[in-house]
Every structure is written in C-alpha cells, then in structure tokens.
Structure 1
Amino acid sequence: MATRQLAAGRTALLLVDPYNDFLSDGGKLWPLVAPTRNAARLHANLSAILSAVREAGIPVVIVPHHRYDHNDLDGWHHMTPYQESSAKALVFQKGEWGGEWHPDFAPQPGDVIAKEHWASSGFANTDLDLQLRQRGITHVVIVGLIANTCIEGTGRNASELGYHVTLVRDATAAFSDEALHAAHEINAASYAHQLLSTEVLLTQIATLRNDG
C-alpha cells in the first residue's frame, strides 16, 4: 500500500462508536476487546490522535452506531445476526450508561455528530456523506471500533464514494486478533489508501499543521 499524505484543509477524522459499551470497564462489549493485542494502547492512541487533530484544526466527526432500545427490530424481515444479537443484548442502549460516550472521547464543541447507522457502514442511511462534502472533505482518517465491522464498512463505503481513506492500525481493535489481522492485512488493501500506525499518523498531522 503506497504511502500518501493527508490533504491540508480537506481532511477529517471519523471517530466510530466511542461508546461506554465498547471502551469502558463494565461495558457490554469491552470484555471482548480487552484481551486482544491492541487493547492496552487503544485509549492512549485515540486520545493522542484526537488531541493532535484538534490542535491542527482538523474536523472531528463522530460516527455513532444505532443505540438499541426495546422492540427496535420488531417487524424486520432481514436483520443480520449482529443486529439480532445487539438488539437482544441492548448494546449501546438508548438512555443508559452503555450508550453514552466514553468520557475521554465525547464530542467537543465544533465536532460533528452524524446520524446513527444501523449496520456496519457509517454512510448507509445517514447524513455522513453530506456532512463531509459540505465541509469540502476529500480525505478521511477512520479510528474507533471495531476494525472488521464498522471501521471496515465505513472505510469501504468511503472509498466507493471517492474519499481518500486512511486506517490506523493501533487506533482500533476487534473481538479477536484474527479478526484484526483479517481487517488490516487481508482486507484493507482493497479499499484503503493508507494503513498507518498512530506514530506515523501523528507525524503526518504535524506536517499539515506546520504547512498551515
């Protein structure tokens, strides 16, 4: 995968699903993430990236999953296994702690919060594409949870829509190291333009800041 720089004034950070259920002790899904190899540095890397992009004036766009509530999928004909299990477990439950933002990654004034997505892609049936295009965004950096579902689904859709896509190896995680490997080492090359470490991304962001 060739190394390509970000674009000054046309890059946004997409922070996917920064919920307590994914990222906090006591969250419904954190026990699945915690034993994997990226978990130990995940919070620190996400914090470092958020700090750097805010300092550089890069827009932060929160890309949230649907917050489930009782009977949300009643009458659905074609729910996926993930949707069925999430609805049963009330993952990111509306109005409950698990469906609130992790305090370290909550939206700040000036951030954009896209409409909630129902499956894996942050673009499908939401206003994310509109929000980005209205701001002149052509390059997206995608971080958050989880690598082989919402990160990959959002990244693939972004590429199909013509965006330059950057993934960050250690600013995401999955429910297994095998799933993380598949997302990065097998699937990423089919849609992402860059697959970077947090360290390399921070260097690129610093370059944008210095150029600006």
Structure 2
Amino acid sequence: MTTAQRTALIVGDMQTGILANFPFAERVLPGIAATLPAARRRGVDIIYLRAGLRPNPDDIGEGNTLFRKFFDLGDLFHETSPHTDVDPRIAPAPTDTVVLKRRTSGFAHTDLDLVLRTRGITEFAICGVATGAMIAATAYAAADLDYGVTVLRDLCADDNDDIHTFLCDHLFPSRGMTVTTAAAWLDNPTAPQH
C-alpha cells in the first residue's frame, strides 16, 4: 500500500470499564472484534483512543461539570486504572497505536493528529462509543483538520438509539462525512470517502 493510499481505523473508548458499566457499548464489540483482523489484513492502520484522566483533578477545569462527574466515578476513568485499558477481546496488536485522551474528542490535546500525519493518513474510518460523544466530537474535529471521515454505523453505539440514528442518517452526511457499514468499508477501505 503506498503512502497516498494509507487509511486508518480509529476504535474509540472500547475499554474495560466502559464495556462493564455501559451496556450499550457491548452491542458493538463483536462487530469490532470481527472487523479488526480483516482491516489489518488489508493494511489498515489501527489506532485506539483510550479515555483516561489523571488520578488527581489536574485535568478538570472548575466549570467542567461533565468531566468532574467522570472523575468522581473513581478509577473507572483514571488513566492508571485497568478499567481504562482497551478491552482484551479487541486488544491492540504490536503494530497498533493507542492514544490517551482526556476529553471527548480524540484530537483534543492529544497526539492523534501527529500519528495520522506521520503515517501519511488523510482518510480514516471511526467506530466505538458513544455516537453522540466520542464519535461526533472526533469526527467534527477531524473534518476541521481536513481529514476524510467515514463513520461505521454498525460499529458505533449510543445509549440513546434516536441520537445514533439522527447522527448517522442526517447530521454526519450533511457535514460531508461518509456513513456506511463495516462490511461495505472493508470492500475498499482506501477508496476516497468524501
């Protein structure tokens, strides 16, 4: 695969603590587990996003009530806890990359952009949880950075099915993102997705 053809699959927030405590996340795990080896065989770069806060509140601004709530859940979202590890059923391979994030978007104060640009990746597919949180925030940030974004709708989930459906059927396509299934994407993961 030439540099111009490289693409990535971003798998976000599929970590042990989230899967154990948010049942909707478990729904997409089998599909992600089946897609990862097929993507690797096609030369797709696999990048995991892992949500983790410092065990002290240095990551939490005074007015950030959402992340204060996450922090107050204890080690469920603390970076030093095994609850923030990628679920072992979809464990990263040695060639994969894991990016630690402290906010909803995979691009907010992380090195995700550096990893993608270093590898010559300009288009990627994204999956994981939740559609209305990490998927939406990362996809919007990526579009602002001129990446081509494909959302794998059958490998994304939200605790509110209406939000998932609205984003996949209306909002993402209206913002120039491709929304498709994992099987359709795997047929040609390096095809332009705009």
**Shorter-normalised TM-score: what interval?**
0.7 to 0.9
Q: Deviations over 1:49-85 (max 9, x none)?
A: 21111111111111222245253456x2231x32121
Structural mapping, 1:22-171, within 5 Å? 22-23=18-19, 27-28=20-21, 30-31=22-23, 33=24, 40=27, 42-67=28-53, 69-73=55-59, 76-79=61-64, 81-90=65-74, 91-114=76-99, 116-171=100-155
**In structure 1, which of residues 175, 181, 199 is the aligned counterpart of residue 159 of structure 2?**
175
Structure 1: stretches of 5+ with no match in the other structure: 1-6
- Sequence identity (%): 28
If the length of structure 2 is used for normalisation, what is the TM-score? 0.86
Q: Deviations over 1:96-155 (max 9, x none)?
A: 3322221112211111122x2222211111111111101100101111111111111101
Structure 2: stretches of 5+ with no match in the other structure: none
1-side partners of 2:102 and 2:78: how far apart?
13
Which residue identity does 1:182 align to in structure 2? F
Contact in 2 for aligned 1:167/1:194 (Cα 8 Å): yes
**Which structure carries more relative contact order (alpha carbon 8 Å, separation 6+)?**
1
Misfit runs of 4+, over 4 Å: none
Contact in 2 for aligned 1:167/1:192 (Cα 8 Å): no
**In structure 1, which of residues 184, 193, 198 is the aligned counterpart of residue 168 of structure 2?**
184
Contact in 2 for aligned 1:19/1:92 (Cα 8 Å): no
Q: CA deviation at 1:192?
A: 4.5
- Larger strand proportion, structure 1 or 2? 2
- Over aligned residue pairs, what C-alpha RMSD do you find? 2.2
